[in-house]
Structure 1
Amino acid sequence: MAAETNADVIVIGAGIVGAMAAFHLQNDGRKVTMIEREEAAAGASAGNAGILAFPEIIPIPSPGVMFKAPKWLIDPLGPLSIPPAYALKIAPWLWHFWRASSRRAFEHGIAAQTTMMHLASTAMHGVRETAALASFFDNTGTLDLYDSEASFDAAAADWRAKEKAGFEFNRVGRAEIDALQPGLAPQFRHAIYASDGIQVNDPKGLTKALVDLVMSRGVTFQKGEVTAVAPAGAGNVVTLRDGTTISANTVVVACGAWSRKLAAGLGDRVPLETERGYNTTLPPQTFRLQRQLYFNDHAFVVTPLAEGIRVGGAVELGGLDLPPNYQRSRALLAKAKRFLPELETTGGREWMGFRPSMPDCLPVIGRASGSRSVIYAFGHGHLGLTQSAGTGRLVAELAADRPTSIDITPFRPGRFN
């Protein structure tokens, strides 16, 4: 099939990050074509918890984390697990994770995430003001719960770092907890409440509405699997699995966990892994979940959605090919029932999705080594929804050769070389 030579910008991926990139590029006057292997919001953008987690600036790799990791890893249903069949394959990623857990790297990560989160918050505020999208956002507030005073105290340094970064919250006791969310088990006597916590009530719906919006304004949507991106003259050629080739002035790689192979073809060996997320979405019920709940000692969340209640979390590093282990989602559901005894846990819909995860918990945003006009926007882990609008703004700035709103050096593709 003959190559099309008049494309301006191709965005590979129609998840929330790709959709936000298309939104900002279109606002810049660019002519955008989106290419997606399935449909819009078919992956992680459909199954996330819907939390805009702007205060989550603390990287998972931290000083001392490697002493905790063996305990997590031997528990197949724990907060961080690696299936035995995948252990050898992920060894290089774990080495980078260990390096990212040094004190210097940890503090660097907090600084980078703080800057990124403030940009993400500002950019998302602009999206929330878009008439077609405003109904997807609810100000529910966020309640971070701890099992004991000891575990609460152990997290004190993280909360001080968040306070220093400019995020506001209050420590609350049992009386306030009961008022903020009735029905919690009696063990929860220590919590942090952030009144400005924002919930996306339909994450899949938001992504699809955003894609519909940009399409109504002229963005072209094409279904297909991109197998390669290569520089060609002043632009690039995108090759699809069916042999179709499309030329473009600018290409944005925003296909999440599938981005690593495309980056490798452009000369960038990024240590991107697949963080498999599990959840169960329960149907509407008499139990009233009033706000986002973080069960911090157990690494999972319970959030209110338009379609019901979503229970999800924990991390399984298992790649793209192993079959799902829904025992993980069932284990989380059993815990949710213990912690919220009135919660009805029957009739739920289980889900597993692939999150693109970097060992330092920072996304990849920047230009490809093999072509200045290929821009990377992937690797956000469990913060894709949260950082999507900020990432979209940065992509548009890079595509226009404008100075970026923040220093993107911490997110450069070659930082692990």
Structure 2
Amino acid sequence: MRRSGIPAGDTPGGGVVRSARAAADAPGRPRGARALAAGSCVLGALVAWTLGTGPAAHAAPVAACLLPRTAAHHSEGLVDPGGVEQAGSAPAGYPRAQGDVDALMVFLSFPDSPPALTPREVAADHYPATARFWDAASAGHFRLHLHTVDRWLTMPRSATAYRINRDWRAADRTAYLRDALTTADPAVDFRGYDVVYLVADPDAPGVDSDATKVVNLARPVTLDGNPLSRLVTVFERHPPDRNVLAHETGHVFDLPDLYDRPPPGSAADWDTRVGDWDLMGSQFGLAPEPFAWHKWKLGWLRPEQVGCVTGPGTSYYDLAPDESTGGGTKLLVLRTGPDSVLAVEARTRTGNDAEACRTGVLLYRVRSDRESGDGPVTVVDGHPGSSACAATSVYPPLADAPLGPGESYTLPDGTARVTVTGREPDGDWAVKVTQRTTGAADAGRDV
């Protein structure tokens, strides 16, 4: 989407990168002391941090499988706490991952360290790769366009003065954010942007890549009439970690962290819950395509692409691969409790999952009452006791999690059984679901 007053230029291979015009080029726009007001607003905001869309459209037949949206941060629910269905909308303060979405990238340097890279070189670390990832994942439903400020804006203090690190003290990160916005505001027009990336010079002493996160503000800061509730603070190396900005962008659209952060000082694995499956678990995963549940949450699946299994009895489904761009059923959902479901989808080696270790039918539990980073999704290990792709997987015990033809999984309480009966000539996976009781019968407890 071309924006008025912004010169457009497509980068080779896709992923639009555009130059954001400075405020001086926008006539009739008062500036004065508003930059200081923006800084004081940030100072007064209570900042919550995540590492790091809205409820999807649906029809009555799938209503029984919708989870209630709870107060949990980045809740996996698809309905608000009052039970009001919000077809295709996003929770308050979150933009929608629908259609053309404009993102702004601002580059911040520090007075004691002249940048060795140009803003264009740093932008190329992340785009068009980030735009390509989300375009493929959404099958074109979500197109992210990057606009850049093509010069470094100098912060008032050195990076070391802000004590940048993963577990940043609130006072230090608030000071950084205040100075970043106060520095950028006189030079940048923030109007019309749904996503804002504040990118630090990767070579400056004191810049810590572990601190790359999304900042969630207790109340929005308004810049050029644009209320912003969250900002992406980027401290990545050059070149950066794979898919890191795509992961952080997922948070902007209300997707939770799916990894398990061990206690400080522990050598435990971070990826025990979902392994390689879904970008929000690990940006290094072999199969980073978003779960079909997340695609439903973001509004990319039509109602007829979701099968709500309400039994009892036996039902049969053909599952189109999660990565495919066509129609067909992409997600089966079995209600297992008031805040939980068992989700079933097919995964193949294509698109974002071209390097997947194993293919087949993947099962995972979803809970809407769990906070981001506290296990909202857990992949079912279809082959407990075995591992795969030890040299490349982020967590080999789950790399071979999908079920193959003739394999089954039964819920621990025995109420339902999922069996893969075969692979169809068109690439779909044939699945049989047998339920002993209805989801409603077990609605009082989570399985």
Using the size of structure 1 for normalisation, the TM-score is 0.28
Per chain length, whose mean CA-contact separation is higher, i.e. which structure has more relative contact order (CA < 8 Å, sep 6+)? Answer: 1
Using the size of structure 2 for normalisation, the TM-score is 0.27
Query: Greater helix percent: which structure?
Result: 1
Which has the larger Rg?
2
